[in-house]
Amino acid sequence: MIFELNEEQKLIRQTVREFAEKEIKPSAAERDESESFDRSLMFDKLGELGLAGIVFPEEYGGAGADYISYAIAVEELSRVCASTGVTLSAHLSLGANPIYLFGSEEQKQQFLTPLAEGTKLGAFALTETAAGSDAGGTKTTAERDGEDWVLNGTKIFCTNGGEAEINIVFARTDKNAQKHHGISAFIVEKDTPGFSFGKKERKLGIRSSPTCEFVFDNCRIPAANLLGEEGSGFKVAMKTLDGGRIGIAAQALGIAQGAFEAALAYAKERKQFDQPISSFQAIQFKLADMATEIEAARLLVYQAAYKASAGQAYGKDSAMAKMYASDVAMRVTTEAVQVFGGYGFTRDFPVERMMRDAKITQIYEGTNEVQRVVIGVALTRD
């Protein structure tokens, strides 16, 4: 068993870290404050670095790297800006990957290639007001009309929403089917008539990542935009989320790592009672717990990523990684604020933002309660 990164993975870490420190970090607090998404900085430049399609084959515009490299990229971006990290994660795992996994060759050429090249941004629309953890409760409909599908309904909490040119949308194609049966997946382009954007969410964290409502009012798309087989949408969604959880686990890991590094540096320079607070056992114990939990989370994340690259079943592993890493992110960022004391509660230091950003990682891509269900079912399945 080898725990050392290979040379390619080390180079990716170094490259993304240098980019994140130089380009992303300086404006992270300002973008959070203004809730602004800088497309050229937070996505276009990622495409120029080859990150937008890092795991996809070169024939589709990708870089042909493995999922560990992808996790490293999301981790390093999230270490300084969780909003940028989730922009990449949602684009690749949720917007592009379902086309790679379930799309026809024509769909891959038309839609996956520009996504992988970073010339178009991707998004994913599954959640509805009455269908969150219960994805089978989808009410949005798609009816066949000649050579088209006509979509009606709304989706909420769409990451990259309003910015993405290519969107994966789930709708019920069989009104008589029960729960998760009779749902299909579709590729919907941004400028399609009948497709508009509703409420933009004002959020606790990841505030420079756009999140909005999708509205479909007799939105007509070509029949060729059906992704996978009719009625297989629930399968498409669940398989997509398995992979997406690796990205969110990596995001949580990066947030925790960034908060720990900030707390460690501050503890070494902050003096009380004529000595650095890092010399006090109470602070050392906090730092020790933070560092240990981060390393444990990293092993879970990389294990899930390794299995995904190796073509092995990884649903349980990605659920474990997402659940544990997100819980660690909340504990570490909370403790980081505590290490900073009163200063940690102000916006003058990044740990306040990191603590707000960490919370969503316990909720999206399946709440941690749902992750425990996924893990429990996998453990007890005959």
pLDDT in tens, 170-211: 999 988 787 788 999 999 999 999 999 999 999 999 999 999
Identify the burial level of 259 via C-beta atoms within 10 angstroms of its C-beta, where 0-12 means exposed, 13-18 middle and 19 or more buried: buried
Place of tokens 């725990």: 3
Instruction: Return the closest-CA partner of residue 54 out of 44, 45, 67.
Output: 67
Contact in structure between 99 and 228 (CB atoms under 8 Å): no
Q: Distance between CA 49 and CA 376 in Å, rounded? A: 39
Model pLDDT, residue 177? 80
How do 211-222 and 226-227 pair as beta strands? unpaired
**Average pLDDT along the chain, 382 residues, taken 10 residues at a time:** 90 98 98 98 97 97 97 98 98 98 98 98 96 90 97 98 98 86 96 97 98 98 97 95 96 98 98 96 98 98 97 96 98 98 97 98 96 96 75
Model pLDDT, residue 175? 86
Q: Distance between CA 319 and CA 244 in Å, rounded? A: 10
Can you read off the two tokens belonging to residue 209? 């990542």
**Active-site residue, selected from the candidate residues 106, 163, 365, 369:** 365
Q: Distance between CA 349 and CA 138 in Å, rounded? A: 41
Q: For the chain, how far is it from start to end, CA to CA, in angstroms? A: 28
Can you read off the two tokens belonging to residue 257? 């790592």
Write down all domains in the chain, each with its CATH number in brackets. 7-121 (1.10.540.10), 123-234 (2.40.110.10), 237-380 (1.20.140.10)
Instruction: Return the closest-CA partner of residue 173 out of 153, 191, 197, 193.
Output: 153
Model pLDDT, residue 382? 62
Model pLDDT, residue 120? 98
Active site residue 33: no
Question: Which run of H or E residues covers position 156?
Answer: strand 148-159
pTM more than 0.85: yes
